Amino acid sequence: MSDYVAGSCNIGPQEIRRRKGVAYLGLFLTIVSLIGFIKTGASASARIGIFFPALVFSIGFVQARKKFCLAYGFLGTFNLGKLGDISKVSSKEDKAADRATAAGILLQSIGLAAIITLVVFLLPIS
């Protein structure tokens, strides 16, 4: 089992698996949306809607890769054991480090979703 490391690792293997599941769900929704856009010849402005499923994918993907939960980071908690076994971060410095990492993950996820959205927006579909 991993150890909690402020600003670096706040979830264990079961939580990482859960984040991968979110990433797979988001990827599935993104692909289904793209197929729908292609089949209907959706306008470029309508394709901007792919941002939301792409964001679900991005958040799950980045969290799984970084072994760090965005929500836990903002809430000052961590879980390295079984699902639901959440512990509180005690140190103010550790909480600050976790919040900084969580903010970075959120920005990375938004950036990745924006890139995916831009690519879909620029596709010559209609």
For residue 42, give its domain range.
13-122
Two tokens, residue 43: 């306008």
102-103-104 Cα angle (round to 5): 90
Question: What mean pLDDT is reported for the chain?
Answer: 96
Report CA Rg, the chain: 17
Domains identified in the chain, total number = 1
Under the banding of pLDDT at 50, 70 and 90, the label for residue 20 is very high
Residue 47, classified by CB atoms within 10 Å of its CB into exposed (0-12), middle (13-18) or buried (19+), is buried
pLDDT single digits (tens) 48-75: 999 999 999 999 999 999 999 999 999 9
pLDDT single digits (tens) 77-101: 999 999 999 999 999 999 999 999 9
> Is residue 57 one of the residues assigned to a domain?
yes
> Is residue 6 one of the residues assigned to a domain?
no
Residues 33-57: what's their mean pLDDT? Answer: 97
Quote the pTM value: 0.94
- Closest to 64 (Cα-Cα) out of 99, 19, 3, 104: 19
> Is residue 85 one of the residues assigned to a domain?
yes
Q: Give the pLDDT score at 2.
A: 62
